[in-house]
Structure 1
Amino acid sequence: MKFDISKLLNISARVSWAITVACVFILFFPSDWLPFQIDTLREQYGLWIFIVIAVSISLCLSHLAKWIWKTIKQAWDKKKTWDTYKYILKNFSKSEKALIKKYYDKRETAILMDLRDPTIKKLETFRVISKAAGTSLGSVSGFPGFIQPWVFELIDKHPEFLNIEEDDKER
């Protein structure tokens, strides 16, 4: 019979914890408190139970390490994403700031985009604005769209991203 150790690593965390708790109960629970004789089971199979508990604890620790790594990676990815968003908003040109400011002051996220405008195309490339899925009743070159929610959220936290006057002083 061939034993594949890779299948052992696919055991779920719940099963690993259940096996660990059961083995700890069998090995370390006082026999005086139990209505049946557990000492003979410990004497006959104690070594095997210890091996099972060692493997199940190592599986639990590997699941815990995988969960910690996944949580840290998700937090890191989220931070990188928000840093990218901040970088995009910080480096807006005057025309991009003016366009976003016009809608930000009214708190409007729904916009009618002029597809011939290069500013609109650049903002669409950086996913600051997106085209809506529906059709338009506007002008021939107009298309319905919306400003992404993260834009207003970041501008609420950092209103200096839309200051056009500061941009003039720096240059």
Structure 2
Amino acid sequence: MRNFAPLSVFLILFSCQEIKFKEPQPIETPVLNSFPTELIGSYYDLKRNDTLIVNPTTFTFGNKSSLTFISAGLSDSVILKAKDHVYYLNLFDKEKKLWNLIVFRNDVVSNLHVSLFVIENNEQVEKIKAITPLEPVLNEEKEIDYYIAQPNELELKQIVSQQLFSKSTELKKIIKQ
């Protein structure tokens, strides 16, 4: 895998501050060796021209507008976990030695809701801080570059259920005929 985490490409498209983690999330949940059957397939988002292809052990994300394409396989630096029908894709940022997190959820018609752990405003910061501490990391200009969180499983569940992360998109499953 390249020296950057695939989440970085998503964030270039969205321009937000990340929430990073010291350990893959949820902490006490076992690692899955493959994507579950219900996630495998091809998905698209017409608004942003995004495509996502999920195979048993790999995923490929593409954005036709920006000509951005990334592909990664499950490994020591790309870890998938599941808890209560929510899937957590943990991507290791080799440069920062921290984990990025993408959350996947299926709805009743097999559409995939993809959420990134990013923050757009102070209101979100305060809501998350009310659940779990956030440690700001500053860049060279002394501005907040990203945050580090270490939630326990209950705190992470609260953040996910309250959808306190910013970027979420719905991808429609392509049904083969």
Shorter-chain TM-score bucket reads: under 0.3
After TM superposition, the score normalised by the length of structure 2 is: 0.22
Please identify which structure carries the higher helix content. Answer: 1
Structure having greater relative contact order (Cα 8 Å, sep ≥ 6)? 2
Structure number having the greater strand percentage = 2
Higher gyration radius (CA)? 1
